[in-house]
Amino acid sequence: MFPGKRDILDVSICIRISAKPYIRYTFKLFQTLKSYTVSQSALVNNNAHIGPVPITSLPSISQNFCSKPSKSLLSSITSSFRFSQNRACSSTPEPIAKSSVLVDYFIGSLKFSKARAIAVSSNFAHIKSLEKPEEVVLFFKALGFSDAHIQSLAHTLPRILFAKVEKTLKPKVAFFQELGLSGPRLGTFVSKNPGVLQCSLDKTLRPCIHLIEKVLRNDGRNRSDEKVTDDLFLILTRANRIVHMKLRLEANIQYLESCGIVGSQLSTLLLRQPRIFIVRKEKLRELVSRAVNMDFTIGSRMLVHAIHCFSCMNIKTLDGRFEVLRMFGFSKDEVALMFRKSPFVFEFSEAKLRWKLEFFLNNLKIDKLVLVQQPGFLTYSIEERVVPRYKVLEILKSKGLLRTRSTIGSAMHVSNRKFLEKRCESGSGELELGSGQLETRESE
């Protein structure tokens, strides 16, 4: 059985689907098989011997055809491809850095690993000297950046080492210095947020900073310039991508304000969860919709806390918190009411929430309905607030020094000074603050 047109077609298909490095090999194989087919056809038609066929590279192909020649031929060719491909892969050399000068500099001065240094330098193969990176490093050192700052910056954003100092770096640094950031503090900020040195100053960085400053200055808290700067850079550190998304930041601020989240509520949300301000508009509307579906009203002072809570956890996680409360005997409606009153209570982990509930209900014997009406009790520190005040009340009660009937519930909300003033009989005893807790000392 000899190969026919179908076999030649199979070979041509192999040529089309094979990778480029093997096309030349396949074409030669095709030519050889074509010569073989023509010679064998002549042998059949003329019933005469034509001589040896030039197919010495595949001596056993004609012996392997059996009853399905096309599959056998294709199998033989595929095997040849695999052999050739394996040889090609096994002989591929490891990548070699084209600039050993850069590799040595990255390893010696910037503490890169050898693999990292080779990988990074391969992206800058056109660099033949250290003039540019050395200029950038000297510029940062002159600003007061530490070696750790520079190394962190280089590891996070290697291309910053090849930036233009006068055109790219100096204008942004000057802008941050005008805002009150300089020296090592500037180094800490930039090393954690290297992207701020790459974005456009006038089109992106300056407009975004001014939007954030406006929210902080107009919240009615009369922040000092220093406090505004501190909060500004805290926001940028928590969400460094915010300076790259001016349009989204502006649109989300406007939408939240339309929901009644203004003034201190808006600035608090920006400080606690700045990423909310750069999510897609569909995502932000989904967060607000979830809050509304749980009976939070637009304009409610608790709406902002619900949005923050939803942004920190998914539905499954929040349901886990609800289940913890139900395990302690709270009904579904009671849990929903507690969430509407204090959404931030549900930001505790399940373990911490369970521990607090056990302490209030089992140790202090507080009625469950008290927590339903005032779930904010669960946000107070047990070690620094709840336990010390509970002990004070117990001591005062045992000595008959309480002015009025007092409970641990009514004693939780007031400040330490007011707590002392209201709970002590004048001249009968004295309560002091010390080491973050309340202590008792009888008057002599």
- What is the token pair recorded at 32? 């050889």
Distances (CA, A) of 382 to 166, 345, 350, 355, 390: 55, 14, 16, 10, 10
pLDDT at 442: 37
* CA gap 38, 34 in Å, rounded: 6
pLDDT at 351: 95
Amino acid identity for residue 251 in this structure: A
pLDDT at 322: 95
* CA gap 23, 161 in Å, rounded: 43
Q: Are 398 and 409 in contact (CB under 8 A)?
A: no
The segments of the chain whose pLDDT lies below 50 read 1-27, 29-30, 33-34, 36-69, 73-74, 77, 81, 83-85, 87-98, 425-444
- What is the token pair recorded at 64? 């392997």
* CA gap 284, 270 in Å, rounded: 14
Q: 3-state class of 217 per DSSP?
A: helix
Q: Which of 18, 136, 40 is nearest to 85 (CA)?
A: 18
Q: Where are the domains of the chain?
A: 5-90, 95-190, 380-444
Q: Kindly report the backbone phi and psi dihedral angles of residue 431, in degrees, each rounded to the nearest multiple of 5, phi listed first.
A: -115, 135
Q: Kindly report the backbone phi and psi dihedral angles of residue 441, in degrees, each rounded to the nearest multiple of 5, phi listed first.
A: -145, 120
The pTM (predicted TM-score) of the whole model is: 0.65
Q: Kindly report the backbone phi and psi dihedral angles of residue 433, in degrees, each rounded to the nearest multiple of 5, phi listed first.
A: -100, 135
* CA gap 111, 133 in Å, rounded: 14
pLDDT at 403: 59
Q: How far apart are the first and last CA of the chain?
A: 120
pLDDT at 256: 95
